[in-house]
Amino acid sequence: MSAIDEAILRGLLDDMGGDMEVIKELIQSYLEEAPRLLAEDKTALAAKDAPTLQRAVHTLKSTSATFGAMELSEASKAIEAPAKTGVLPDDAALARLGTLYEAVRGELVKRL
């Protein structure tokens, strides 16, 4: 199973008028931003900073969904909702985000 929902990615390409260069720029931006967000998640968890963690996973959730990385988006959502109420995830939940991101990265890099 692919880490990317191809239909969503094709829809994004359609939304951008079929301009693959724009899609490549957007993918590159995501591939730069997502690791920063994952690092921010880890830092926020270590500091027991639920609001910062919630904002970082919210952004990761949204941007991942844009590129069809639905499993990563859903895993981020599962952390975001409790974090809104101050409940922090365990290390394993954040580690899973990293693992899912690596699969997404591998799929998206093929499109650059």
Domain count, the chain: 1
Q: Is residue 36 part of a domain?
A: yes
Q: Is residue 1 part of a domain?
A: no
pLDDT at 36: 98
- How far is Cα 73 from Cα 67, in angstroms, rounded to an integer? 10
Q: Is residue 49 part of a domain?
A: yes
Q: Is residue 13 part of a domain?
A: yes
Q: Is residue 103 part of a domain?
A: yes
Q: Is residue 81 part of a domain?
A: yes
What pLDDT, in 10s, does the model give residues 51-99? 999 999 999 999 999 999 999 999 999 999 999 999 999 999 999 999 9
CATH of the domain at 85: 1.20.120
The pTM for the full model equals: 0.95
Q: C-alpha distances in angstroms, 32 versus 27, 51, 76, 101, 109?
A: 9, 22, 18, 12, 12
Residue 38's domain comprises 6-109
Identify whether the C-beta of residue 93 lies closer than 8 Å to the C-beta of residue 74.
no
